[in-house]
Amino acid sequence: MRKFTNLLTKEIKELITLQLVISLLFTVFLFYFIGQMAKSEVKKALRMQKIAVLNLDTSPFSQELIRNLRSGNFEPVLLRVKTKEEAIQQTNSSNMNLLLVIPEGFGQGIEKLELKPVETYTFLRSLSIMANRNAAVFNAVLKLINNYLSNDYLQKQFPELDPNKIKNPIKSRNFVLVKDKMAEGSAEQITGFITSQSLFVPIILMMIIIYSSQMVISAIAMEKQNKTLETLLTVPISRTSIVTAKMMGAAVVGLISAIIYMVGFRYYMAGFMGDVSRAVKASNLSAIIQSLGLALSPNHYLLLGLSLFLAILCGLAMATILGVLAEDYRSAQSLVMPLVFLVLIPYFLSFFSDFRTMSLPAKILVYLIPFSHPFLASQNILLGNYGIVFGGILYMLIFFAVLIFIAARIFSTDKVLTMKLRFRRKKVVL
Amino acid sequence: METILKVQGLRKFYGKLEALQGIDFEVRRGEIFALIGPNGAGKTTTLRIIATLLSPSAGQVSFLGFDLKKNPEKFREKISYLPEEAGAYRNLKGISYLKFMAKFYARSREEVQTYLESAQAIADLGERINEKIGTYSKGMVRKLLLGRVLMTRPALAILDEPTSGLDVINALEVREIIKKFAAEGLSVLLSSHNMLEIEFLSHRVALINQGQILDTGTPAELKSKYQAANLEEVFRRALQ
Ligand SMILES: Nc1ncnc2c1ncn2[C@@H]1O[C@H](COP(=O)(O)OP(=O)(O)O)[C@@H](O)[C@H]1O
Ligand SMILES: [Mg+2]
């Protein structure tokens, strides 16, 4: 036992390198950063949007219209200049990105609904997503104006009718169902919210698996190259202990990575959920998500954490075997490629297609790859499909056990020294 | 003198390649026994089998009366092995590496301490024993590893090409360390492709070529048998 602890301590020490610590800290930071960004974006979206307005019309109607912009969450800033050119210049020198120009005599055509066009100016100050949003803002402004005008017109023509009833005689109430739970709300909002939440699970998972496998492969290949593995195999300790210590060392490091990963993930969710629940009261999104059971509870975190941990273990166990196959440190670098592919397949599939609608062979392929299961779990835990989640966990456990068995076999025979995967480069004969 | 290691009819196949075609030799207590032969002769394969790294395809190996196939753990307790061109964990300090290895053999904390002191005396690295192995020269690493191999006072030390790749001074120091160890009554089995240095180091040698032993004896016996000035000439004549 003392010998085993000695070995295990060495394995863990060897795996916890400065690089690993840095990459884990970076992961947490990344999560935190994204969470904060989401927070500030939500805030921005909720803030009143400033719009510079040049009103060249003198009718009371246009003033009424400008006042009405407030109801659509816009803050009109009236410019006290006389010409369009001056207005453009003034808006440009302020920090506003949007200018609305109401032409002279705009109110005169109101009776017949023959209005002069309004002009909108958008200042592209960057090509970010925010800039893109400005265009959407103007569409909203125009919609608001049109709505206001048509309502006004209908009101005058049919004083006893509600203009909204004329325009939309049929009303709808929208419900969303998740398993046996139901709530009133739009599916679009909810899926949008959930995908925004689970988008980063695959990315970070992919990073961790690839990184930690690379680490293990390199460590073992290094042991082979330095002949320290050869030395270890001749000391009085059982071969099973050597493999188990290697795997357990990797497991401890994997567990630490998974925990840190989950902590980071909580930061991310807190950044997001905190503001959503506070600010989006108007759309009631957080209440809807709660009542549909789509918020992650501590048990859910545990389950997701377990799934992640097992996936990392499988990755590390495969890396251990691949590391033994490597001839030296350099060839180990290319051996990590098959692992990377195995992670990339579920990663891309989770982005580009809906798992439930895949063909059977594709489905089987996805199920067979252990790394698919945390990808599947992150969504299915929310949707309450625990069958897939637990099935995945069981599968990964079995997969891991088989790998340990294979590794123990390799270590207890000649193969640990004689097995090699050579990537022979073809020699060019001149 | 008492025989501690006996190798009989040892054969080893790597797939179709027969790397050892029936090897016989024995090592006695307190002697330095050398396998000498060109690259690819089968020296490393032989040493790896005795060190329990590879399993033989046929033949017998007995050590202190134990059989390799039945009691490999007895071999591991009492044999220390230095692989060819070995290194150590670059991120460990020399002293930490020695401690890590000592813990596999020691039965008490005091024993670990005894091993460490003995290893430090053998390696003779002074204060640099507290620095990371990554900063050591090749000669320093070799001496550290020799310290590791010999500190537990194994009944048999197996050294695969212990001086290869070292400069003259370091090679000399390594040879002195080996001689001193054998003088204390412990046995050494080593290999080399440098036949000239072996003449001054070992008590008995076995000439090995293409998986077969050509001849065995003390350097003096072999030189007079083949009427040669040195072991290199002996080897050339033995080949004919
Ligand atoms: N792992 C291996 N797989 C296949 N052939 C090997 C392996 N190791 C050694 N050999 C072959 O066995 C023969 C003996 O090798 P080796 O024992 O290393 O010789 P030496 O140590 O005397 O230079 C050589 O022909 C070598 O190519
Ligand atoms: Mg060799």
pLDDT digits 0-9 by tens, B157-211: 999 999 999 999 999 999 999 999 999 999 999 999 888 889 889 999 999 999 9
**pLDDT value at residue A46:** 63
Mutation site, A230, A239, A246, A329, interface B, largest B CB count within 10 A: A230
Q: Does residue B78 contact residue B39 with C-beta atoms inside 8 Å?
A: no
Q: Name the residue of chain B whose CA is nearest to A1's CA.
A: B104
CA angle A187/A191/A192 to nearest 5° reads: 110
- pTM attached to this predicted model: 0.76
Beta bridge partners of A245: none
Mean pLDDT over residues B214-219, rounded?
Answer: 96
Q: Mean pLDDT over residues B115-129, rounded?
A: 95
Nearest to B86 among A227, A413, A417 (CB): A227
* Distance to chain B for A233, nearest Cα, Å: 7
- Do B76 and A3 make contact, defined as CB atoms within 8 angstroms? no
Residues of chain A with pLDDT under 70: 41-42, 44-47, 126-135, 192-204, 269-286, 350-353, 420-430
DSSP letter assigned to residue A9: H
Query: How far A305 CA lies from chain B's nearest CA (Å)?
Result: 32
Alpha helices in A326-385 (DSSP H): 329-335, 337-352, 360-368, 372-383
In this complex, is the C-beta atom of B157 within 8 Å of any C-beta atom belonging to chain A? no
Name which of B12, B89, B112, B164 to mutate to probe chain A: the one with the most chain A Cβ atoms within 10 A of its Cβ: B89
Long-range Cβ contact pairs of A146-155 (< 8 A, separation 24 or more): A148/A65, A148/A68, A149/A65, A149/A110, A149/A113, A149/A115, A152/A110, A153/A113
Least confident of A212-226, B21-35, B94-108, B193-207: A212-226
Exposed (0-12), middle (13-18) or buried (19+): which is B205, by Cβ within 10 Å?
A: buried
Torsion over CA of A88, A94, A95 and A101, rounded to 10 degrees? -30
Cα A43 from chain centre = 19
Closest in A10, A236, A417 to B77, CB measured = A236
Considering only residues 123 to 152 of chain B, which have any Cβ-Cβ distance to chain A shorter than 8 Å?
A: none
- CA-closest candidate to residue A306, choices A358, A254, A342, A244: A254
CA distance A99 to A55: 11
Closest by Cβ to A417, choosing from B53, B77, B100? B53
Query: What are the sequence ranges of the domains in chain A?
Result: 2-38+186-418, 48-168
- Ligand lying closest to the C-alpha of residue B210: 1
Instruction: Count CA atoms closer than 13 A to A381's CA, side-chain side.
Output: 25
Residue A399 confidence (pLDDT): 96
Chain A residues touching B51 at Cβ < 8 A: 234
> How far is residue A273 CA from its own chain's centroid?
14
Chain B residue with Cα closest to A234: B76
- Helix axes of A200-226 and A372-383: crossing angle, nearest 10 degrees: 150
Among A12, A13, A225, A234, the strongest candidate for a mutation testing the B interface, having the largest count of B CBs within 10 A, is A234
Query: What integer is the mean pLDDT of B207-222?
Result: 95
| Structure token digits, residue B94 | 């020399």
Which residue lies with its CA nearest to atom 26 of ligand 1? B40
Which residue of A12, A18, A227, A329 to mutate against B (max B Cβ within 10 Å)?
A: A227
DSSP state of A249: H
Cross-strand pairs, A177:
A182
pLDDT computed for residue A131 by the predictor: 57
Q: Write down the pLDDT at residue B69.
A: 92
Residue of B nearest to A222 (CA): B89
CA A167/CA A154 separation, integer angstroms: 9
Average pLDDT score over chain B: 94
Chain B residues in contact with A14 by the CB 8 A cut-off are: 89, 91
Ligand 1 lined by B19 (C-beta under 6 Å) = yes
Q: Which residue type is seen at B229?
A: A
Do the Cβ atoms of A56 and A139 come closer than 8 Å? no
B109 burial (CB, 10 Å; 0-12 / 13-18 / 19+) is exposed
Residues of A engaging B, defined by a Cβ cutoff of 8 Å? 2-3, 6, 10, 14, 17, 222, 225-228, 230-231, 233-237, 413-414, 417-418
Task: Tell me what pLDDT residue B102 has.
Answer: 96
Query: Residue B32: pLDDT above 50?
Result: yes
Q: Do A235 and B88 touch (CB under 8 A)?
A: no
Residue A430's pLDDT is 47
Q: Do B103 and A417 touch (CB under 8 A)?
A: no
Given a contact cutoff of 8 angstroms between Cβ atoms, the answer to whether B98 and B147 are in contact is: yes
Structure-model confidence comparison of residues B156 and A105, the more confident one = B156
Q: How far is the C-alpha of B213 from the C-alpha of B143, rounded, in Å?
A: 30
Minimal-distance CA residue of chain B relative to A233: B53
Find out whether the beta carbon of B220 lies less than 6 Å from any atom of ligand 1.
Answer: no
Residue A282 is predicted with a pLDDT of 45
What is d(CA A228, CA A232) in angstroms, rounded to the nearest whole number?
A: 6
Chain B residues within 8 A of A417 when measuring between CB atoms? 48, 53-54
- Judging contacts by C-beta atoms under 8 Å, the chain A residues touching residue B82 are 231
List of residues 6+ apart from A78 with CB closer than 8 A: A53, A55, A66
Q: Is the CB of B56 under 6 A from ligand 1?
A: no
More confident residue, B49 or A81: B49
Q: Which two tokens stand for residue B28?
A: 């006695």
Q: Report d(CA A299, CA A306) in Å as an integer.
A: 11
pLDDT of residue A257: 77
Supply the CATH classification number for the domain A48-168.
3.40.1710.10
CB pairs under 8 A between A and B: 65
- Contact by Cβ (8 Å): A404, A247: yes
Q: Which chain A residues have a beta carbon less than 8 Å from that of B83?
A: 227, 230-231
Q: Could you say which of B81, B87, B103 has the minimum Cβ distance to residue A226?
A: B87
CA A220 to chain centre: 33
Q: How confident is the model at residue B72 (pLDDT cuts 50, 70, 90)?
A: very high
- The reply to whether ligand 1 has any atom less than 6 angstroms from the CB of B169 is no
pLDDT of residue A271: 65
From the list A6, A234, A414, the residue facing B103 with the nearest CB is: A6
Q: What pLDDT score was predicted for residue A426? A: 43
Neighbour-count burial for B31-41, b at 16+ CB within 10 Å, e otherwise = bbbbbbbeeeb
Amino acid in the structure at residue A428? V
Cβ neighbours for B186, distance < 8 A, ≥ 6 positions apart:
B29, B30, B153, B154, B155, B156, B157
